[in-house]
Amino acid sequence: MTDGLIVPPGAGRKFVTKAQEVTFKVTGDHSRTGSLFEVLVPPGFDVGAHVHTRSEEIFYVLEGELELLAFEPGQRTSKDWRSWRGAGDRRPVRAGAGSCMFVPPGCPHAFTNPTDTPARMLFLSAPAPDHERYFEELLEMWSNETADEAAVMNLREKYDIQQITPLRYDAR
């Protein structure tokens, strides 16, 4: 018989940098199918529009507001995904607590915190553990302040993240 896992509030392996705070709640050590993270998204953080060919993701806003994108635009532009338009005039959505975004493989997606207050979300990624390893390496780059744009792009490509618009952090 295998035991389950209970992770109390505030618990989990935490990575904190000037740009993001990620707490690993359920990892590839626990699950064969997915990883679950709690993410604090600071004001001014924009993950940039990107696509995964293998993984699917679910984002659930716990607190605050995020702007979310999960559709193929009529035209992919490399500058700002927030101006993208999709079929039926789809547009990015301002999403508050309780909002959920599902992203299948191949779907362009992004999130940003355009407000002046931090937002918290749960982030589920499948399969495990690709995003765990990506976050570990990215957060290590940021904590050592060695993350230039080229290094981040190389890391994202390594983990099946095809970047369309740039990752940005405009600290407020």
For residues 18 and 169, give the distance between their C-alpha atoms in angstroms, rounded to a whole number: 10
CB 124 within 8 A of CB 39: no
The model carries a pTM of 0.89
- Domain of residue 24: give its range: 14-169
Per DSSP, helices labelled H in the chain are 130-143, 149-158
CB 134 within 8 A of CB 157: no
For the chain (length 172 residues), average pLDDT per consecutive 10? 86 82 91 93 94 95 98 93 96 98 98 97 88 80 67 85 88 72
What pLDDT is recorded for position 95?
Answer: 98
Token pair of 56 as six digits: 């699917």
Question: Considering the domain boundaries, does residue 143 fall inside one?
Answer: yes
Q: How many domains does the chain have?
A: 1
CATH code, domain with 43: 2.60.120.10
CB 47 within 8 A of CB 78: no
Question: Considering the domain boundaries, does residue 31 fall inside one?
Answer: yes
- For residue 7, how many C-alpha atoms fall within 13 Å in the half-sphere facing its CB? 14
Strands 56-63 and 168-169: unpaired
Phi-psi region of 18 (alpha: psi -120 to 50; beta: other; left: phi over 0): alpha
Q: Which residue, 118, 112, 119, is CA-closest to 93?
A: 112
What pLDDT is recorded for position 1?
Answer: 46
Question: Considering the domain boundaries, does residue 8 fall inside one?
Answer: no
Task: Give the position of tokens 């095809």.
Answer: 162
Question: Considering the domain boundaries, does residue 18 fall inside one?
Answer: yes
How far the first Cα of the chain sits from its last, in Å, is: 50
- 74-111 confidence digits (pLDDT tens): 999 988 999 999 999 999 999 999 999 999 999 999 99
